Amino acid sequence: MTMSKEDARTVPPRQADGGVTVTPAVGLTDVSVRFRGRDRDVTAVHGVSLDVKPGEFVAIVGPSGCGKSTLLKLVAGLLSPSAGDVRVGGEQVKGPRHDIGYVFQRAALLEWRSARRNILLQAEIRKMAAAEARERADALIRMTGLSGFEDAYPHELSGGMQQRVALCRALLHEPPVLLMDEPFGALDALTREQMNMELNRIWRETGTTVLLVTHSISEAVYLADRVVVMSPRPGTITEIIEVGLPAEREYSETLGRPEFHAAATHIRDLLGAVSAHD
């Protein structure tokens, strides 16, 4: 049977509990990525399948080099799979996506632009209406606690504030999917905790689907609905853990809950086991 272009582009929605059909916000089906090296080919990820529901927060953890960031690049359309299928909102990813927000480990702000103008760079690139973009930027500035620092330059902002600016920039065009690659890895412990709480609040307020890569088990469990544990290269999914915590999470109280300790301990045991067999 030959599929039409329309059929090939849009995947049928999956059946959800209660008989309601829900198209995954992000869908990876049997995805593998191989890179051609000078002496041999290297398989970064192999046979990865994952569905992320709309509005869900999913964290990915695993050893260095297991392909966590590679998965984000696949979803963003910055990298093509060697095998398998990648979809966003049911549409096959065939190139860079314009409906994705991306936050990296470093804020990568332009030093000659103020905080607000760094956020509005997104609008200039996407040719958004100026008045609408300005209104949206100001709302995000208020949401992330940057009020009063709109005209500050990057060198006048702390690391945490710079990452807030980067987060605002990524959310300016109201993307349905936000990709975050170790966004708080360079921050000190206290600032990282504060940013975790801020991100939880922003996620609840915006309803954005979030896919987060992190090396921190506690960060993954605190923030996510589910945590994907990856094996060493070639990266495969070892297990997906349902965290079982309420969406609204006060930091200290959450870290003391038995569900948090159970999930964190299980993930730590899994990573210890895969490392022992590396």
Average pLDDT score, the chain: 89
Per-residue confidence (pLDDT) for residue 198, from 0 to 100 = 92
Per-residue confidence (pLDDT) for residue 63, from 0 to 100 = 92
Per-residue confidence (pLDDT) for residue 39, from 0 to 100 = 77
Per-residue confidence (pLDDT) for residue 275, from 0 to 100 = 47
CA distance 171 to 176: 9
Percent of the chain with pLDDT over 70: 91
Residues 194-235: tens digit of each pLDDT: 999 999 999 999 999 999 999 999 999 999 999 999 999 889
Residues 43-75: tens digit of each pLDDT: 899 999 999 999 999 999 999 889 999 999 999
Per-residue confidence (pLDDT) for residue 276, from 0 to 100 = 44
CA distance 166 to 183: 9
According to DSSP, the β-strands at 177-181 and 209-213 are parallel
Contact 133, 120 (CB under 8 A): yes
Contact 32, 83 (CB under 8 A): yes
